[in-house]
Amino acid sequence: MSAKEFRHFINGEWVSSPRTFENRNPADNSLVGMVHEAGEQEVDAAVRAARAALRGPWGKMTVAQRMELLHKVADGILRRQDEFLAAEVADTGKPVHLAGHLDIPRGAANFKVFADLMKNVPTESFMMDTPDGGKAVNYAVRAPRGVIAVVCPWNLPLLLMTWKVGPALACGNTVVVKPSEETPATATLLGEVMNEAGVPPGVYNVVHGFGGDSAGSFLTAHPDVDGVTFTGETRTGEIITKAAAKGIRPVSLELGGKNAGIVFADADLEKTIKGLGRAVFENSGQVCLGTERIYVQRPLFDRFVAEFKAYAASIRIGDPQHHDTQMGPVISLGHREKILSYCRQAVADGATVVHGGKIPDMPAHLAEGAWFEPTIWTGLAESSAVVREEIFGPCCHIAPFDTEEEVVALANDTPYGLAASVWTTDLQVAHRMGSALEVGVCWINSWFLRDLRTAFGGAKQSGIGREGGVHSLEFYTELRNVCVRL
């Protein structure tokens, strides 16, 4: 496979398509390479290869043999960490220190974590009395669901792809991965690692392309796909759910959010500024769990806004390859235009622009990149689109509140329910908030602190189902009951 050409990986081989599209580096808009776009023929070949692998060597392996291979895959990623890091940074523009400490090692860890989990997960059993005075024993077995379509986002390409592929393969499924058209590189590179590790052909397949009338729609509508897992926008999740409804195929969806950060007057301000600074601006605000709404109790409001402005102003924007860079570009020029449209809307709605809201001046070699300033607003009504709609950029609105009951109502007044963070030194308040907020994940005095054994997912329009630990097994396996009359 050429380093400047991203082909499909089907049945352990590289496959070309007649149609290609450009993959550009968001830091400078330079051409990374050409990506082959899958049509129905390539998607069908990938699904057939995945189905054949289920019946072949992969389906006949013991759990121990599968686990050994997945550990080899993880080791292969870490052995080629520099290649994965270069590919991820070129695709996303994220700073090299962030990708090096988060995306690549966590992506590798997902294979080991779920492999080890499958070795030890129990199932239930019951002894029952039969009507004739005898006995019967019931026990459960977990069977692979089958061929899983994995549709991935562009913000954490390797990490969120392996978060799904790791447990899917650990459970004995096979996968067809459709990476985002913006970030094709690491999913493609993982194909090489799969071959090096000795994973049988057809277990891991990759098809590139777009959503509608391209690889995404062909894959999610394919009748021989047994389940679809997706992370991305809520609107796309609705489309996928409709496609999967034909044939009654299950979906696992982690969708959009408009997450709130809630700061009580007794919070440790220094730690709160640092924590919410990450929650708003890390990865240029392109994190599904990121914070776009901050509510601060009124006695602390003015001081918080001033110190949060200082934090935003201190962020070093620059070349992703430099280790002191704290924030890179957003994913594309098109996405930057979306963020700019919300900035214009904020001003039209009467916002005070506390910081940012513009395209920064960059050195000549980065001037064509998708750069955007960290941005803070105050003064908007809760009805503003800027407060209600997901922007997915380095932006947030800060508003004051007075009482606990008031801020619960404000935070929950959204169609989304992905995550929230609460900042307080009052343990009773913390526990009450953890129960009252309608979200899948609630952090207290922290953000993005993740134990991979715990349930992860969204409420309301932020998703369906849970991932992580044994919860991932619920989607990637069919639980069968065996009843034996004694």
Torsional class of 379: left (φ above 0), alpha (ψ -120 to 50), beta (otherwise): left
Identify whether 254 is a catalytic site residue. yes
Which residues, in sequence order, are bridge partners of residue 140? 481
Distance CA 84, CA 79 (A): 10
Distance CA 391, CA 239 (A): 20
User: What would you measure as the largest C-alpha separation in the chain, in angstroms?
Assistant: 86
Q: Which residue has the tokens 């916002």?
A: 351
Residue 171 CB contacts under 8 Å (≥ 6 apart), including other chains: 118, 142, 144, 145, 473, 476, 477
Residue 22 CB contacts under 8 Å (≥ 6 apart), including other chains: 31, 34, 35
Residue 256 CB contacts under 8 Å (≥ 6 apart), including other chains: 233, 234, 288, 390, 416, 418, 461, 462
Give φ, ψ of 444 to 5 degrees: -115, 120
Sign of the C-alpha dihedral computed for residues 188, 189, 195 and 197 taken in this order: negative
Given 42, 88, 182, 254, the catalytic residue: 254
β-strands 251-254, 147-151 pairing: unpaired
Residue 277 CB contacts under 8 Å (≥ 6 apart), including other chains: 308, 311, 312, 315
Distance CA 208, CA 184 (A): 7
86 exposed, middle or buried (CB, 10 Å; 0-12, 13-18, 19+)?
middle
403 exposed, middle or buried (CB, 10 Å; 0-12, 13-18, 19+)?
exposed
Q: Which residues are catalytic?
A: 254
